Structure formats: structure tokens, C-alpha cells
Structure 1
């Protein structure tokens, strides 16, 4: 096992996320599938109560990780209201 520099990203949902996300959900899921498939994202998901999404991303630095999340349709369409990026050491095989 090795520990890889990654970024833990928390993207906070808007209060009306359950409704607001619906028209953007297919594009969001396609974007997340792309990040997972190319290895940029190690994990992606959301709190069950839609409080926030959580992603673990490979990126050169925090700014690059943030840029990846800002490209997501949820951010571009106001489904997420805040993005927090912190250093994370992912244990990978």
C-alpha cells in the first residue's frame, strides 16, 4: 500500500438541491463517471441527506482540484453553493 497525495473535496448543496439538481443530474453523473474512469477521482458520492457531495481527487494542487469541481454541472448551475478542498493522503494499492 502507498499513500498518495490527493484532495478531499466537499461541495455543499443548496437548500433546494433535491429539486434543483434534477435537470442537471444526467450531465453531473456523466462528468463524475468520466473522472472515475480516467482515475482523476478515487471516490465520489454524497451525504444521504443531500447536505454535501464528497470527492477524493487526484490533482496537481488544490487549485487544480477546485477547478475540476467548478467544471461540474452542479457547480455551474447553482446546485452546489460552496466548495472546500483539503489535503488528503489516500491509501491506494
Structure 2
């Protein structure tokens, strides 16, 4: 398994706009965490960006998880980048 990092941006007024999708978003993340593919994920303190660490077979798997998330599908996350990551420590 390889590790990948996610960096992404939130839309304007994300805290308000995310409300209808928040439960489905969190439920999906909990399932990813239980399966071991999601290591951690969360917003920056100013709620403008999202950061995550995944452990998956390949980048395509991570991209599929992100793009199936309600936050991506409903424009709460507006753009993202995935990079393979080497955990040195």
C-alpha cells in the first residue's frame, strides 16, 4: 500500500453551504477510516482548505473516494490535488 496526501480548497461560506451534506460526508469518512484507507482528514483552522492522508493501492483509488464524497459532488470542495507521499518519520 502507498500513502497519498490530499490538499484541496473549500468554497466561500463552506460552513453554511456544507450543512445539507455534512452527515453523509462524515458517514462516508467513517467508513473509509474503518476500512483503513483513510488515515486522517480535516480542514485548516480557517476552513479554506482540506488536508488528508490516505493509504491505498493507487492514486486512482484516492481520487475516486474524493470525487464520490458529497462535498466534492456539491461544490463544497472546489479543487483538489493528490500526491504520492513518503512518510519518513
Q: CA RMSD in A?
A: 1.6
Out of 4, 28, 31, the position equivalent to 1:31 is 28
Q: State the Cα distance separating 1:63 from its structure 2 match.
A: 2.0
Gaps of 5+ in 1: none
- TM-score, with normalisation over the residues of structure 2? 0.89
Query: Tell me, what secondary structure is at the counterpart of 2:56?
Result: coil
Name the structure 1 match of 2:4. Answer: 7
Give the alignment's TM-score, normalised by structure 1. 0.86
- Runs ≥4 residues deviating over 3 A: none
Runs of 5+ in structure 2 lacking a partner? none
Matched with 2:83 is 86
Distance (whole Å) between structure 2 residues aligned to residue 32 and residue 89 of structure 1: 22
Aligned equivalent of 2:46: 49
